[in-house]
Chain A
Amino acid sequence: MSQPHDDHHDDHGHQSRFIQHHYDDAQHQFDSGKLGIWFFLVQEILFFSALFVAYILYRHHHPEIYAYAHHYLDVKWGAINTAVLIVSSLSAAWAVRCAQLAQRRGLIACLVITIVCALGFLGIKTIEYSHKIHEHILWGKYFDPCVASAGNHLLNKGNNCPGVKTSVVWDGKAGKAKSGCLEGNYDQNPAEPGIQGKCEVIEVVGANRRPIEACEEVPGKSGGHGKPAKFPCYELALNPHVCPAGPAAMVLYGDHGHHGGAIEVRCDAVPAPAAPADAFADPAHVPTTGERTFAQHKAKSKHELAHEFASGPPPEHTNMFFSIYFAMTGLHGIHVLVGVFVFIWLLWRAIRGDFTPDYFGPVDYAALYWHLVDLIWIFLFPLLYLIH
């Protein structure tokens, strides 16, 4: 596909001025570069390989984390990015052909398309990342999603109530939580018997994080535009200490702005079978609102169950999924960024008219690199977004 025309093989006078002196001719230089880029790509694959091994290992040990956590990745954005990268790979390959045929304008157009697609990919990735940063769905130590005030001890034992942001104080008498660390206060102030089985409202004060979405099932109190809760917003109430009788419970995040906004937490009394002691260990049985019982849950469609599964309390060390997610997509993103710079450099050279049928190696090599970057994404997309 990509052999340079070597009509002028022996005629050094007509050769591109970019043929370096220590090569015999243009073909020799091209072949050397091609072999070099292939070795480089092998190196790249091995560079990524450790991350894939880590992915496989943790998925093997903790399939529940992957099944749970991937719901927080948006398949829509992932799919769009896949399409964007495939288009850019096509335009990169086309650029090589244009360079071979000395079609300078076609080459420039193809390079521009490639750069635009690469930037588009990065833009979409930025949208995805900023959502996650906003919701504190981050890697390792910083995995601290919105309900972490209560969920911390479930999510991650090593991550004790990390500061004021997510801290709440549970006031058992008032049935309210003030500012402070909820986790630390359970033990000192266990929920009073009066709360049991009753409909109680807990207010979480001092949480300056913007609430995500409220549980919309409460008529008239929805803060979430009718969307189902995105993260387990009932975590607080589900805690046996808070709502000991409540398998059916809910939490409502008051939409009161950034700082000092109150978060309401409601435990709705439910005439339902008592919760199994290990309700947390069995996320499929997690109810979402006070109106629902376990029996109703079982009757739900697979899709609904899957969704509720996603909204259940995260398995321990869910942070590891996001560590791997950010490591893999981050490293891939860096490669895309490098690709952008390489293609901008090629564009500059193409406009200057450097590339001829005798000398188009850099375009070819960059395209090969770009195909590999594309290919890695083709693996990342199903491995991270499409888990079943």
Chain B
Amino acid sequence: MSAAVDTNASYLTATRGWKSWAYTLDHKRIGMMYLFGILGALLLGGAFALLVRAELWSPGHTIAGKDAYNKFFTLHGAVMVFLVIIPGLPAALGNMILPIQLGAPDVAFPKLNLTSFYLWVVGALLLLVAVFTGGLDTGWTFYTPYSLQTQTAVIPAVLGAFVLGFSSIFTGLNFLVTIHKFRPKAMGWFQMPLNLWALYSTALMQVLATPVLGITLLLLFVERFMHIGIFDPNLGGDPVLFQHFFWFYSHPAVYIMIVPAMGVISEITTTFSRKPIFGYRFIAYSSIALALFSFLVWGHHMFVSGQSKLANMVFSALTFSVGIPSAIKVFNWVSTLYKGDIRLQTPMLYALSFLIMFTIGGLTGIFLAILSIDVQLHDTYFVVAHFHYVMMGSTLIAFIGALHYWWPKVTGKMYPERVARVAAIGVFIGFNLTFLPQFVMGSRGMPRRYWDYDPEFQIFHQLSTVGAFLLGLSLFGVVCYLMWSLKYGTKAPQNPWGGTTLEWDAPTPPTVFNFPEPPEIHELYNYDDLEELPEGGWVRKPSTGAKSSSGH
């Protein structure tokens, strides 16, 4: 940036022109670009979901044939996983908020950050190439040997996912170094907001797990391109090895999705309960515990893939143990609510939805960890409903909640609160209407990924389809009113919710280097420090003493 830039101006307006965005090194602008890309991908992935649900309205042919249906659910999965929920919280919102919560001017490696973003763009374009050159019908998991045989666009899709993996790795690396090296001296590890603990755990998994996906997809690419044979049984290779490699990444990937969601839920729950978070250290440690456990449970995806009995039992037991840190978090959030002064504003509505849906998603995961039950439920709609409760009902809901929580901070505009609450309720009802019937169907034996079904399942499929369209409509409404608010929203106060973390001490929207002066570090989650203004927003009481000033 040249010397002419006013670093005390809002980051949104300090420089102008498309080049000032395309070449920006500002973490907030990069996060904003991610956000728009991800919202676009969300609409695309959502459109595929609605096509899937529309096709399932009646048995047999409704709107599309079998092959088209296979492509719909594959592209829905691939777009949603690789383009939306993995980068959603860390890369988009994490990028905007993480340095500010640390009181830092930027992430450690701004150029690498921009590189990550452009890698995301390249990966997204490659997936689009796959969509428009024959689609993809392997499922988002690219299982061999089918992915070696299908005539659909596996190569661009695999390359896209490979590139997106490196985008994720570099973001994680950047966050790890930023948290290690840019934490102010006055902010010890246990004075960090819980969101940062969650982002740290997530980054750890991104750096440690994603490379294995990278090499696996690279081998798959080489397999298709040069017939190297490592996963091809015709040449002596082992297709189940692909599953092991794939899930060694993709199970942690599920935690890459959920752990940052837990981070924002921790923040929102305490802020809107006006009460310090209950069990700070337990929540912090359980994030790290989830990161560690996530690497030890991949085998539970292969209970029926011919894995040895011993391996099945070990993976089953380890999978149960994941319930412990997850439950610790849920109990702590519920305890935080207890006797709190709960404000039912939009972010809190999403947080409460999260609590309910994550509990359902988590508990059904325990069902699936039981070997004997998993044999029955494997590859049925029960599994589909379970992971949608976690990946969508929890992660995406937390993402939307976090978006509302930080939207005023990063855009400087308030969204229309009343419309937003209606949309939040629509999302909640739509989601549960979509996926609760799927638990029932699955437990009665409806297999996943089937284009056709017995008439006895039709009522459940129709309920699910109605729910999906309500959900789609509500989310589309969310995107619309957020865009509307960019132009017509009222000006946001500096601290609209009365949060205690550092981003609420930064100007709204933040200046180029986030803070004109290094911020003071206050006690975390102490809501007595703040008072509500009659015109909206909160300020720190004049006399509250800062613990100390910042400095790295």
Residue of A at shortest CB range from B176? A39
- Decide if A320 touches B237 in the complex (CB within 8 Å): yes
- Decide if B229 touches A42 in the complex (CB within 8 Å): no
What is the CA–CA distance of A373 and B547 in the complex, to the nearest angstrom?
46
The answer to the question of A341 belonging to the interface, with a C-beta cut-off of 8 Å to chain B, is no
Q: Which of B90-98, B212-220, B483-491, B526-534 contacts A (4 or more CB under 8 A)?
A: B212-220
Given A39-B176, A323-B228, A326-B228, the answer on whether A49 and B241 have CB atoms closer than 8 Å is no
Given A28-B552, A43-B207, A141-B229, the answer on whether A22 and B105 have CB atoms closer than 8 Å is yes
Residues A53-73 near B (CB distance < 8 A): 53-54, 57-58
Q: Which of B106-114, B127-135, B360-368, B456-464 contacts A (4 or more CB under 8 A)?
A: B106-114
Give A254-277 as 1s and 0s: 1 = Cβ < 8 Å from B's Cβ atoms.
000000000000000000000000
Chain A hits for B207, CB < 8 A: 39, 42-43
In-complex Cβ contact of A141 among B108, B209, B235 (8 A): B235
- Decide if A28 touches B235 in the complex (CB within 8 Å): no
Give A316-356 as 1s and 0s: 1 = Cβ < 8 Å from B's Cβ atoms.
11011001101100010000000000000000000000000
- Decide if B215 touches A141 in the complex (CB within 8 Å): no
Residue of A at shortest CB range from B233? A158
Residue of B at shortest CB range from A20? B110
For chain A, give the interface size range. Answer: 35 or more
The answer to the question of B433 belonging to the interface, with a C-beta cut-off of 8 Å to chain A, is no
What is the CA–CA distance of A43 and B165 in the complex, to the nearest angstrom?
11
For chain B, give the interface size range. Answer: 35 or more
Chain B hits for A57, CB < 8 A: 238, 241
- Decide if A47 touches B214 in the complex (CB within 8 Å): yes
Give B170-193 as 1s and 0s: 1 = Cβ < 8 Å from A's Cβ atoms.
000110110011100000000000
- Decide if B235 touches A140 in the complex (CB within 8 Å): yes
The answer to the question of A164 belonging to the interface, with a C-beta cut-off of 8 Å to chain B, is no
CB distance from B544 to the nearest CB of A (A): 27
Given A40-B173, A156-B235, the answer on whether A35 and B211 have CB atoms closer than 8 Å is no
Residue of A at shortest CB range from B214? A47
Chain A hits for B245, CB < 8 A: 50, 53
The answer to the question of B267 belonging to the interface, with a C-beta cut-off of 8 Å to chain A, is no
- Decide if A28 touches B181 in the complex (CB within 8 Å): yes
CB distance from B70 to the nearest CB of A (A): 27
- Decide if A323 touches B234 in the complex (CB within 8 Å): no
- Decide if A42 touches B230 in the complex (CB within 8 Å): no
Residues B405-422 near A (CB distance < 8 A): none
Residue of A at shortest CB range from B107? A22
The answer to the question of B440 belonging to the interface, with a C-beta cut-off of 8 Å to chain A, is no
What is the CA–CA distance of A165 and B177 in the complex, to the nearest angstrom?
56
Chain A hits for B208, CB < 8 A: 42-43, 46
The answer to the question of B75 belonging to the interface, with a C-beta cut-off of 8 Å to chain A, is no
Residues A27-42 near B (CB distance < 8 A): 28, 31-33, 35-36, 39-40, 42
Chain B hits for A319, CB < 8 A: 229, 235-236
- Decide if B110 touches A22 in the complex (CB within 8 Å): yes
Given A43-B169, A319-B229, the answer on whether A50 and B236 have CB atoms closer than 8 Å is no
In-complex Cβ contact of A324 among B106, B173, B176, B230 (8 A): B230
What is the CA–CA distance of A232 and B27 in the complex, to the nearest angstrom?
62
Given A42-B207, A54-B241, the answer on whether A140 and B177 have CB atoms closer than 8 Å is no
The answer to the question of A24 belonging to the interface, with a C-beta cut-off of 8 Å to chain B, is yes
CB distance from A20 to the nearest CB of B (A): 8
Residue of B at shortest CB range from A159? B235
Chain B hits for A35, CB < 8 A: 176-177, 180-181
Residue of B at shortest CB range from A318? B236
- Decide if A22 touches B237 in the complex (CB within 8 Å): no
CB distance from A27 to the nearest CB of B (A): 10
- Decide if B106 touches A22 in the complex (CB within 8 Å): yes
Residue of B106, B177, B230, B236 with most chain A CB atoms under a 10 A cut-off: B236
Residue of A at shortest CB range from B227? A141
Residue of A at shortest CB range from B231? A54
- Decide if A50 touches B232 in the complex (CB within 8 Å): no
The answer to the question of B480 belonging to the interface, with a C-beta cut-off of 8 Å to chain A, is no
What is the CA–CA distance of A10 and B104 in the complex, to the nearest angstrom?
19
CB distance from A331 to the nearest CB of B (A): 8
Given A35-B180, A319-B235, the answer on whether A46 and B230 have CB atoms closer than 8 Å is no
Chain A hits for B176, CB < 8 A: 35, 39
Chain A hits for B227, CB < 8 A: 139-142
The answer to the question of A18 belonging to the interface, with a C-beta cut-off of 8 Å to chain B, is no
The answer to the question of A366 belonging to the interface, with a C-beta cut-off of 8 Å to chain B, is no
The answer to the question of B82 belonging to the interface, with a C-beta cut-off of 8 Å to chain A, is no
In-complex Cβ contact of A43 among B108, B173, B177 (8 A): B173
In-complex Cβ contact of B235 among A44, A158, A331 (8 A): A158
11 interchain pairs (CB within 8 A)?
A31-B181, A36-B109, A47-B211, A47-B214, A49-B211, A50-B215, A54-B219, A141-B226, A320-B236, A320-B237, A327-B228
Q: 17 other contacts beyond A140-B226, A140-B230, A142-B227, with CB at 8 A cut-off?
A: A35-B177, A39-B177, A42-B207, A43-B173, A44-B211, A49-B212, A49-B215, A50-B219, A139-B229, A140-B227, A140-B229, A140-B232, A141-B226, A156-B235, A316-B236, A319-B235, A323-B235
